[in-house]
Structure 1
């Protein structure tokens, strides 16, 4: 058979055909955004990683260190926590059971109806942003849309938006005005690129019981709306489910392994990608945000579409145009390669790396659940102000920033426990903020038991809370000739700092030491293998003590 020319010819044709099909599939896999969409502003940056790698993180962001995030939208209305709009369609889940009991079966009352119920009747953006600023926030973030695919502004390309439905107001416009009034840079978070996968539960059905096989409302079309409250609206503009399911879509957890559009994920259409591109460009053009957060691996829809690359290039070029050629914008992405970290800021979700990072980065986390959860309130599950401050100190010591979400109830207010936590953060920051803002990492980020314990990042991050900080843990950062040494809590005895001993390669010539927030004279002595600092008679706070070390 090896020497038969006819057979060889047949095999050659088969191989060539297979390669052509593979090439076609790859081209289809990477769906380009057409020229008939929102115009991409040209300039220094082009829509490719090589060009985007010319990005430099602006100094204002490196100095800011701390931002607060209003991760708020219609999923906060039920008060049942994050990913409500996905899990309400999974029979047997806690959220499904709660939804059926409180609203009815999801074939009749779906997430579109949750949107209708959400009124945000007590929302006061000015009051909230002022509270965040008082807590020490140096920038403010608002969520522009989530995986639930509802736009929270007067969107040109999504009829399911907060002006047409629910609160019937331009939420982002009002957040933006509040940020401006409080002189805070505006950040916007965009999560809707994954609605295609995220809502796949909405096109499924019960697997048992009297409504077994009855499709949930994710398959409804515009024609089905005649005579309903949503007549004239197209549910597919919200749910985006006119497509085949991803592999293993019956397993609600499979999506986590398909977040980068691999492992059997159903691939988005060109029309879907173009709609996301247009909506995001529209958002950028309307509000000129200082920061944009994408809840995506690398960039939105990458690598199945060039939409994310084009959005990034447009955003940088537009920002430079608005700032007389200076780039002041900050763009975030997750699970970045070393090369991609040169193009945008690496965001670590609910976690932190174990070392100082050469490039600035950010942790995003929340004091509770990402969307408001009554359970967190009732069962005292919020992070304390002490936990938040410890997280912030650790992150800043490693060249990072902290973006903190404080969940907002559906009506637009914070609960009393959250307000107390935010104010307690502000109390600590008022005295100790100088050790955070405008600082840079020192030669080492810290010492103590937590430094000596391995705590690797998993996927997007997710390693926070696995190691508890104690009063033997110390973190460093610096500002000019000032070194700040932060102690996690109140020490039980004298503090011994190994990195400042005479024999340490990091030893300093110390002029004096002060304890922020205290008038007590600090007693200290440099010994061969450590610096000894006597514990104060009265601690200025119970959260974290900060020693200000002056060099000669």
Structure 2
């Protein structure tokens, strides 16, 4: 047994336990406020289909799952990142990248993941094929730093991404490939000739244009592999918005407070997009925060916007505190997630919920339990969520409103987590048509309602009040005036 290695791992785990919240605050992507709608009719059609799905799953899984630490960021040398002070930075990076020799997910079961996600009511998937640390969860031919080149290489499902995509495709999910534009393991991004002071390329691109051109080719080739070798793709979800053309670095980007350079880190998105859409017609591209023709929907991270947005967008939120698996992480309650989903959908967006599989390839039981509970609510209330769009008056206090494509209006009253259902629910605006019926989706039965001016009062069946916390939210369907 290598005692130095064991000691290092223990120190890192101890340091990591206090890190996640700070890291999420500093490492998140801010939402771009500019939006340019796609003009390709096939992209428009697929984007409209995506907007019907409403609830997706993003899986962060990679080397960081082995010690159970924040994804990638601890190998980045920025002042918000904490590491054990007795470990030299270069030694830390060597240790981290050396985890590729320990990552052996022998219980990897993507069919189980897909089954759990379907039961949760999720409709689309985004899977991390490569995070910023550069470790590839697919069988790329551009580098040996990949899951198919370690202890898992002889497993029949070693090409992890292929089997994840296949499993979710069989369950009817729209499929998205997460791909990090920065690659900190690549010598053409972080060149070992120089120190790596922050998240950006660490050499002068103008002085070494040949090296950056190699990186652009490397990025193009990897994305080409994903677009050509892994079946039908609906979404290319590109992370690492600081890797962007200089002309897109505006005051909004500078206000992030992150290490955003004033030089160009352009990977030639027009060329990538042309290739990707030739292979995958209608492909939705999400070049996060780089406003323009390749950010087909916006992605506010770890927050819900405070107002309705008319552009296509999704809130990226975690089920626990971290994107990847961290032991003893604190999970959000099903009620909290359902309330977030309701608010996001009422404001015109979709919810992409983050879950991190364990290093052995299984999902944490606590995550499964919570996802299952969310799915039970959606099973009877999904009509108020799926295939809906926002209304002009989308909220009145803790009640939110959506509208189906055929005109049905929905009121979704979010209830306190620790209390039984009330005997009445009231809201202002979104009044039912005179003489029309109102249906409580939870029971499928009609309920009595009255109107006084602009206020609607709904009387609930007494049977709902029996169990505290049994109903995270109650959804009502009606024909609006």
Partner of 1:425: 374
SS of corresponding position for 2:298: strand
- Give ranges in structure 1 of 5+ residues lacking alignment: 1-48, 200-234, 321-326, 449-471, 502-506
Contact 1:148 1:195 in 2 (8 A): yes
Query: Distance in 1 between the 2:312 and 2:145 partners?
Result: 36
Match of 2:224 in 1: 281
Deviation at 1:336, TM superposition (A): 4.6
Given candidates 356, 366, 370, the residue that maps to 2:323 is: 370
Q: Select which of 37, 54, 64 maps to 1:65.
A: 54
CA change 1:181–1:520 in 2 (3 A) is: closer
Rounded Cα–Cα distance in structure 2 between residues aligned with 1:360 and 1:195: 28
Residue pairs, 1:312-327, within 5 angstroms: 312-320=273-281, 327=282
The residue matched to 1:446 in structure 2 has which SS?
strand
**2:307 and 2:81 mapped to 1: Cα distance?**
39
1:342–1:117 CA distance, 2 compared to 1 (3 A): closer
**Partner Cα separation in structure 1 for residue 412 and residue 293 of structure 2:** 28
Corresponding residue for residue 462 of structure 1: none
CA distance in 2, matches of 1:51, 1:474: 27
Provide the TM-score with structure 1 as the length reference.
Answer: 0.66
SS in structure 2 opposite 1:480? coil
1:333 pairs with 261, 268, 287, which one? 287
Question: 1:294 aligned to 2:238?
Answer: yes
Displacement after TM superposition at 1:439 (Å): 1.0
The residue aligned with 2:430 is 500
Alignment of 1:529 with 2:462, yes or no, is no
Q: Which runs of 5+ in 2 are unaligned?
A: 1-34, 247-263
User: Over aligned residue pairs, what C-alpha RMSD do you find?
Assistant: 3.4
1:547 alignment counterpart: 476
Change (3 A) 1:519 1:154: closer
- Structure 1 position 488, deviation (Å): 0.9
Query: Are the structure 2 counterparts of residues 411 and 85 from structure 1 closer, same or farther at C-alpha, using a change threshold of 3 Å?
Result: farther
SS of structure 2 residue aligned to 1:348: coil
**1:461 aligned residue:** none
Counterpart residue number, 1:143: 128
Question: Contact 1:125 / 1:178 at 8 angstroms: preserved in 2?
Answer: yes
Q: Given the superposition, is the C-alpha separation of residues 117 and 90 from structure 1 closer, same or farther in structure 2, using an over 3 Å criterion?
A: farther
Per the TM alignment, residue 417 of structure 1 is displaced from its structure 2 partner at its CA by 1.0
- Equivalents in 1 of 2:242, 2:372: separation in Å? 35
Change (3 A) 1:144 1:437: same
What is the CA distance between 1:298 and its match in structure 2? 8.4
Give the alignment of 1:458-473 within 5 angstroms: 472-473=398-399
1:108 deviation in Å?
A: 9.1
Alignment size in residue pairs: 409
Alignment partner for residue 99 of structure 2, among 97, 114, 121?
Answer: 114
1:341, distance to aligned residue in structure 2 (A): 6.6
* Pairwise CA distance, 1:549: 1.4
**Aligned equivalent of 2:306:** 354
Corresponding position of 2:16? none
Task: Tell me the alpha carbon deviations over residues 17-39 of structure 1, each in whole angstroms, 9 at most, x when there is no partner.
Answer: xxxxxxxxxxxxxxxxxxxxxxx
Contact 1:299 1:308 in 2 (8 A): no
Given the superposition, is the C-alpha separation of residues 161 and 98 from structure 1 closer, same or farther in structure 2, using an over 3 Å criterion?
A: farther
Alpha carbons 1:446, 1:474 under 8 Å: kept: yes
1:475: Cα distance to partner? 3.6
Q: 1:301 to 1:519 in 2, by over 3 A?
A: same
2:51 is paired with a residue of what secondary structure?
helix
Report if the CA contact (8 A) 2:448-2:459 is conserved: yes
Q: Which of 392, 403, 407 is the aligned partner of 1:443?
A: 392
